[in-house]
Amino acid sequence: MTTARDPRYDILFEPVRIGPVTARNRFYQVPQCNGMGYRDPSGLAAMRGVKAEGGWAVVSTEEAEIHHSSETAPYIEGRIWDDRDLPAHALVTDAIHVHGSLAAIELVHNGMSVNNMYTRIPPMGPSHRPTSGDLYPIQARRMDKGDIADLRRWHREAAVRSVQAGYDIVYVYAGHNLSTLQHFLSPRYNNRTDEYGGSLENRTRLLREVLEDTREAVDGRTAVACRIVIDELIGSDGFTRDDMVGVMEMLGEHPDVWDFMVGAWPDDSVTSRFGPENDREELMRGLKQLTSKPVVGVGRFTSPDTMVRMVRQGVLDFIGAARPSIADPFLPAKIEEGRMEDIRECIGCNICVASDFTMSPIRCTQNPSMGEEWRRGWHPELMRPKGGDEKVLVVGGGPAGLEAAMSAGRRGYEVVLTEASRRLGGRVAHEARLPGLAEWIRVLDYRRTQVEKLSNVEFFLESAMEADEILSYGFHHVAIATGATWRRDGVGRSHAQPIDLDGSLEILTPDDVMNGTRPCGERVIVFDDDHYYMGGALAELLVKDGFSVGLVTSAPEVSSWTYKTMEQHRIQAHLLNLGVELIVSHTVAGTLSGSIALVNAYTKAERMLECDSAVFVTSRLPNEALYLDLRDRQEAWGDRGLLSIRTVGDAFSPGSIAAAVWDGRRFAEDLGRRDEGAWFPRDIPQL
């Protein structure tokens, strides 16, 4: 393809030397967990290969355990324990190399951040301390000199295996509160009084030794990277920015490339609700000047102009990314080809992170092909041609309908998309107006832009559809993407049957509030039985509108599922700072005039809480009436040429926006398939 790159971005495509290897540009996919790891090697290799195909000059693994004394079960990460792991790694490096990119592996000994649930070997760290991972009744034992020597040996052996597997860059990892090397650096974990504790120089000793060991082990065959926390963000109790300056003065020339991160993982990958693009720049600024080696850092970079500024101002040499490379593996290629409008921008929702915490293949709200490259054969930019000349109708212009219309159009089908309201976007258009969720509108913006570019796709607004009308048009395939409606009766996780409502207390739903309705009176109770972002976001909206708000949830904390998107602690703190009253471990049992009945989730004790209105955030019902009407007329399909009708997204099964987008893609992919894509391959372990 002839490029039409804007000259302003030329600097992003300069090659950069990393020790004995050269990156073809400045786009660097930093190590990134994905929920596949050692369990799904073929899927993992295909996913990494697509990143390389899309122009990322360096493509890194997730953390790769170097030894069975430190493993992450039940979480699924990489493993390079012994030579039996090498074939899986070779799949990854081969997939990356075929597109001319460098393959990097992040070696890790997790020490006291894991519980070793698989091996049952007691974890170890610099001091006798409880493990810092999931709560578990176990402590890490203090490493003696023999343990330290073992760790150094295991790391050397893993580095040699990494060379054998074909990696071009081998990481020494001291970040994210996950690595034994960081634990030795940090005074919050290291209270030793020997040569590995006390002064910064002593606490840095093990990192220095492992860096030197790794350089010796790879012997110039690969580059050596150091990924390191530059500030743990807990003040003098931890590793500070000043400490990092001291480390750079001691070790600045030891690795071939520095990879900087901040705080723990939730600080390094803040959701867009709580952090803008490049929110850690000030902490990174100035460190590059302490080394002659190239520097990479992340910031959920989506703006090419910000990327250029970071390089020109000497903050970074490489534009590091995990989440933006997930949302759009072809981000570098699109910048190079001058196709800015085609970039699928990360919305910072962290649904990708949730895959790691749920031990399931990675997914993305913006990119439904993520994690499906191998097992379903989906590609973020390419789609197989249509199987015939059938015409497709998509009813509903929300995230599922837009994705279905766009993807079917890309396959070459003639598509008509109808939307009953005056604007496209469905739930995304409403939810993006909630506090902190503005960047979620990118789900709509990207798809509308792409649909408008497809000459074979038309869309019509203010076009409500009925069964008779649909049957009269002669479409061959119909997708019903009419979304879902929040329930008003309280049925959800806590209640299988409607709550006892006396009718005197005003009950609103999220749909009411997002459509502009505000509660009567001053005191509002939000009952969150959904446990994701909606309850907290509505509570914030209402308190900012001047209401006195209480949030009731059956869980021990608010928005409890957002632990998996690493923002629960921020949501709870934010609501408390706003003055929202948090009433946890309770559910709503009923309503009376001017009050609501609560039941303790544990003791079953009841109490009354005065309020003027309540907002129920419980569960949703699919808007499936149109589908059911069409299904009941199936005998008329043949005469009208209709071959298939199916509900898509929330109209099929209410879920996340990511699930709706994925289902829209699945509808388009399944057109013309007899099995409707129900089967897909698995990686079967071989004995």
Residue 436 pLDDT greater than 90, yes or no: yes
Give the percent of the chain with pLDDT over 90: 95
CATH number for the region 486-620 comes to: 3.50.50.60
Predicted local distance difference test score (pLDDT) of residue 677: 52
What is the CATH superfamily name and number for domain 7-357? Aldolase class I (3.20.20.70)
531 SS3 class: coil
Is 173 designated active site?
yes
- Residue pair 659/428 in contact (Cβ under 8 Å)? The answer is no
| Options 176, 183, 477, 586, the catalytic residue | 176
Structure tokens at 611: 């309020």
- CA dist., res. 180 & res. 172, Å (int): 11
Cα diameter, the chain: 86
Which ranges constitute the DSSP H helices of 98-204? Answer: 145-165, 180-185, 200-203
User: pLDDT digit string (tens) for 81-102?
Assistant: 999 999 999 999 999 999 999 9
Instruction: Report the alpha-carbon distance of residue 201 to residue 207 in Å, rounded.
Output: 10
The model's pLDDT over 261-298, given as tens digits with 9 standing for 90+, comes to: 999 999 999 999 999 999 999 999 999 999 999 999 99
CA terminus-to-terminus distance, the chain? 45
pLDDT tens-digit series, residues 150-169: 999 999 999 999 999 999 99
3-state SS record for 474-485: CCCEEEECCCEE
Q: In the structure encoding, which two tokens stand for residue 596, read together?
A: 């609501």
Q: What angle do CA 137, 560, 399 make, to 5 degrees?
A: 135
Tens of pLDDT, residue by residue over 30-42, are 999 999 999 999 9
* pLDDT tens-place string over residues 666-682: 999 999 887 655 567 78
pLDDT given for residue 683 in this prediction = 82
Structure tokens belonging to residue 125: 């760290």
pLDDT tens-digit readout, 446-475: 999 999 999 999 999 999 999 999 999 999
Tell me how far CA of residue 199 lies from CA of 14, 196, 589, in angstroms. 40, 8, 58
Q: How far is the CA of 403 from the CAs of 11, 348, 371, 407, in angstroms?
A: 34, 19, 17, 6
Question: Where does the pLDDT of residue 307 fall: very low under 50, low under 70, confident under 90, or very high at 90 and above?
Answer: very high
What type of residue sits at position 287?
A: L
- So what's the pLDDT on residue 648? 98
Beta-sheet strand order (sheet of 613-617): 506-508, 613-617, 523-528, 548-553, 581-583
* Sheet hosting strand 139-142, strand order edge to edge: 124-125, 139-142, 129-130
Hunting for tokens 């509900």 — which residue is that? 647
Give the C-alpha distances (Å, rounded to integers) separating 394 from 415, 443, 623: 7, 17, 14
Position 617 scores a pLDDT of: 98
Q: Which two tokens stand for residue 398?
A: 């929300």
Q: What pTM value is reported for the model?
A: 0.96
> Residue 278: which residues within 8 A CB-CB, separation 6 or more?
299, 300, 301, 306, 310
Instruction: Give residue 1's pLDDT.
Output: 44
How many C-beta atoms surround the C-beta of residue 157 within 10 A? Answer: 17
Q: Which one is catalytic: 33, 346, 349, 611?
A: 33
3-state secondary structure at position 57: coil
Asked whether the beta carbons of 254 and 226 are under 8 A apart, the reply is: yes
pLDDT (tens digit per residue) in 178-229:
999 999 999 999 999 999 999 999 999 999 999 999 999 999 999 999 999 9
682 neighbors 419 (Cβ within 8 angstroms): no
The percentage of residues in the chain with a pLDDT greater than 70, rounded to a whole number, is: 98
pLDDT in tens, 598-630: 999 999 999 999 999 999 999 999 999 999 999
Residue 681: the pLDDT is 79
The answer to whether 520 is a known catalytic residue is no
Per-residue pLDDT tens for 509-551?
999 999 999 999 999 999 999 999 999 999 999 999 999 999 9
Structure tokens at 506: 């005003």
Is-catalytic flag, 176?
yes
Q: What is the pLDDT of residue 686?
A: 61
The mean pLDDT value for 341-369 works out to: 97
Cα–Cα distances in angstroms (integers) from residue 479 to residues 195, 403, 636, 656, 665, in the given order: 67, 11, 17, 19, 11
Q: Where are the alpha helices (DSSP H) in 351-495?
A: 351-357, 399-411, 427-431, 442-453, 467-472
Question: Tokens for 204?
Answer: 């840095």
Averaged over 336-353, what is the pLDDT? 97
pLDDT tens per residue, range 475-512 = 999 999 999 999 999 999 999 999 999 889 999 999 99
Confidence class for position 687, pLDDT limits 50, 70, 90: low
Our answer to whether residue 33 is catalytic in this structure is: yes
Q: Residue 2, SS3?
A: coil
Cα–Cα distance measured from residue 332 to residue 336, given in angstroms and rounded to the nearest whole number = 6
Contact 272, 318 (CB under 8 A): no
- Quickly list H helices, 595-650: 625-632, 637-640
pLDDT in tens, 120-141: 999 999 999 999 878 789 999 9
Delimit the domains of the chain by residue range. 7-357, 391-483+623-670, 486-620
Average pLDDT over residues 52-62: 98
The CA distances from residue 259 to 151, 282, 644, in Å, are 22, 16, 51
For residues 239 and 187, give the distance between their C-alpha atoms in angstroms, rounded to a whole number.
7
Amino acid (one-letter) located at 502: D
Q: Does domain 391-483+623-670 have CATH number 3.30.200.20?
A: no
β pairing state of 586-592 and 595-600: antiparallel
Q: Is the pLDDT of residue 647 over 90?
A: yes
Q: Which of 85, 243, 256, 268 is catalytic?
A: 268
Catalytic residue among 75, 171, 173, 533: 173
